[in-house]
Amino acid sequence: MPNAQLTAAHSGAAKDSGLTNLLGLTRDELEGWVEGLGEKAFRARQLFKWVHQHGATDFQAMTSLAKSLRDQLNGRAELRELPILRDHQSVDGTRKWLLDAGQGNAIETVYIPEDDRGTLCVSSQAGCTVACGFCSTGHQGFARNLSTAEIIGQVRMANRLLDPSGRRAAVSNVVFMGMGEPLLNYEAVRGALQILLDDNGYGLSRRKVTVSTSGVVPFIERLAAECPVALAVSLHAPNDPLRDRLVPLNKKYPLAELLAACRLYLRSGPRDFITFEYVMLEGVNDSQDHARELVSLVTQAKLYCKFNLIPFNPFPASGFRRSPAERVRQFAQTLQAAGMVATVRKTRGDDIDAACGQLAGDIQDRTLIRLRRLDAGAEGLALGSHETSSPHHA
Ligand code: SAH
Ligand code: SF4
């Protein structure tokens, strides 16, 4: 079989049709697969373009391919994205899709339009094992890793739905800041990055693709060696005791190791700085002392970085409060006075809970999905796709 060596990291949920989901194959893998069908490797490039640039949804529409190849594809391959459960549009243009990851799990993808770009925030896992207390995904627990096909499927779906004519790719930037810890699903994420960067795929430059991590040191190092893109690190605290509390992974990879990995990353990364994300939690990590400690931490580490201060997005049961705007401003000012670049992230899509850390595919949704499933019987997915509804949190 041409695809015998391809693993579940690449395709969609494995136990199904027996067809190879082409969304999950990098160009090299697709070449090998196409050659296995007895076709020339250059056909793979054409096919790759149909899949990712034209967003083709069926093989018969791929008119530059010979009919015999299209017929072979029909019997052996598929172009499968996760089904859409809901499609929300915010008053500020932000759009959020809730996708069915199977077995009652939902993941979310968010599109954020700006004047000069369109950023897609993708999920890499259903749930997350890191369990940061201020993050609603962390509260949800972990269900499973997404495959390369399921990650790329989010980008393809967004481009198609945002511009059905297919003339313009609406997604110009991709950030791995949705649900999950991308570097704990490394192989699948690397495959997705390769497809995003491929000139015959989405053709994005390394600077326009950002992986955000809570600090999985060994995989920061692997990413630097294998597929360097822009890196954002979720710092959230200027010392180990506080970071141990906020980002439990810190107990495994403490700050000194994390900052050393960041320094190493800068040697191969496409940018000459690391972005540090810092969620502002009232009375927890937002004092002037914390700001000064942060300055000395990165100064001593000799690390060129930028700070992105994120006002905490509250959700029920988090136990944290958002720092008042004045506190955030003073915190930013202290960093700036020490010569650092610090910006405060604008919150977008608040009315549809698309803001950072609210991407839970929350319990209400999951319960709803299960109930509807029971209603729908064994088929499960007799759910309205493209349903547009009001915000799902009460
Ligand atoms: N797991 C990765 C990427 C997904 S989270 C990471 O942690 O970096 C994307 C960003 O949103 C991270 O910086 C995360 O710390 C932040 N975040 C999580 N919950 C938040 C919340 N409730 N309010 C504001 N930011 C939050
Ligand atoms: Fe996971 Fe990131 Fe949320 Fe922490 S902040 S629980 S690492 S998704």
Predicted pLDDT at 354: 61
CB 210 within 8 A of CB 172: no
Query: What residues flank ligand 1, with Cβ below 6 Å?
Result: 134-135, 177, 181, 212-214, 234, 277, 279, 310, 312-313, 356-357
Best mutation site among 223, 308, 356 for ligand 1 pocket (most ligand atoms within 8 Å of CB): 356
Average pLDDT per 10 consecutive residues for the chain, totaling 394 residues: 40 65 98 95 95 95 94 96 95 94 95 95 97 94 97 97 85 97 98 98 97 98 97 98 98 98 95 96 98 97 95 92 97 97 82 58 41 33 24 23
The pocket around ligand 2, CB under 6 angstroms, is made up of 128, 130-132, 135, 137-138, 180-181, 214, 234
Site to substitute for ligand 1 among 108, 109, 209, 277, most atoms within 8 A of C-beta: 277
220 in helix, strand or coil?
Answer: helix
pLDDT at 367: 38
Other CB atoms within a 10 A radius of the CB of residue 387 amount to 12
Phi/psi of residue 112, nearest 5 degrees: -120, 100
**CATH 3.20.20.70 placement within the chain:** 84-377
Q: Which residues contact 79 (CB under 8 A, 6 or more apart)?
A: 21, 22, 23, 51, 56, 57, 58, 59
Please tell me the number of the ligand nearest to residue 185's CA: 1
The tens digit of pLDDT for each residue in 325-342 reads 999 999 999 999 999 999
Residues 20/78, Cβ–Cβ less than 8 Å: yes
Residue type for position 149: A
Cβ-proximal residues to 163 (8 Å cutoff; 6+ apart), any chain: 169, 170
Please report, as a single letter, which amino acid is at residue 55.
Answer: G
Instruction: State which ligand 1 atom lies nearest to the alpha carbon of 135.
Output: 19
Q: Strand, helix or coil at 116?
A: coil
Q: Which of 39, 78, 81, 108 is catalytic?
A: 108
Q: Residue 225 belongs to what H/E stretch?
A: helix 217-226
Q: What is the pLDDT of residue 164?
A: 79
Per-residue model confidence (pLDDT) at position 357: 52
| Greatest C-alpha distance within the chain | 69
Structural contact between residues 27 and 148, judged by C-beta atoms closer than 8 angstroms: no
In the annotation, is 121 catalytic? no
Looking at 121, 135, 227, 356, which residue is catalytic?
356
For domain 84-377, the question of CATH label 3.90.1300.10 is answered with: no
Q: How far is the CA of 253 from the centre of ligand 2 (A)?
A: 15
For domain 19-78, give the CATH number.
1.10.150.530
**DSSP three-state, residue 303:** coil
Torsion 200-206-209-211 (CA) sign: positive
**Ligand 2 centroid, distance to 129 Cα (angstroms):** 8
Q: What is the DSSP letter of 185?
A: S
* Residue from 140, 142, 181 whose mutation best tests the ligand 2 pocket (most atoms within 8 A of CB): 181
Instruction: Using the Cα atoms of residue 171, residue 87, residue 126 and residue 262 in order, give the sign of their dihedral.
Output: positive
**What pLDDT, on a 0 to 100 scale, did the predictor assign at position 359?**
53
Angle of the 217-226 helix axis to the 186-197 helix axis, nearest 10: 30
Contacts of 299-303 spanning 24+ positions with Cβ under 8 A: 299/338, 301/259, 301/260, 301/262, 301/263, 302/263, 303/259, 303/262, 303/263, 303/266, 303/274
Cα-Cα-Cα-Cα dihedral sign, residues 175, 180, 181, 186: negative
- Which ranges in the chain are annotated with CATH 1.10.150.530? 19-78
Distance 134 CA to ligand 2 centre (A): 9
Compute, in angstroms, the gap from residue 179 CA to the centroid of ligand 1.
9
HSE of 133 in the Cβ direction (CA atoms, 13 Å)?
13
> How far is the C-alpha of 348 from the C-alpha of 11, rounded, in Å?
32
Nearest 5°: the CA angle 43, 45, 47 is 70
Residue the block writes with tokens 């790759």? 48
Q: What is the pLDDT of residue 121?
A: 97
- Please give the pLDDT value at position 63: 94
391 closest CA partner among 346, 354, 348, 357: 354
Task: Please tell me the predicted confidence (pLDDT) of residue 389.
Answer: 26
Amino acid at 110: V
Q: Would residue 108 show up in a list of annotated catalytic residues for this protein? A: yes
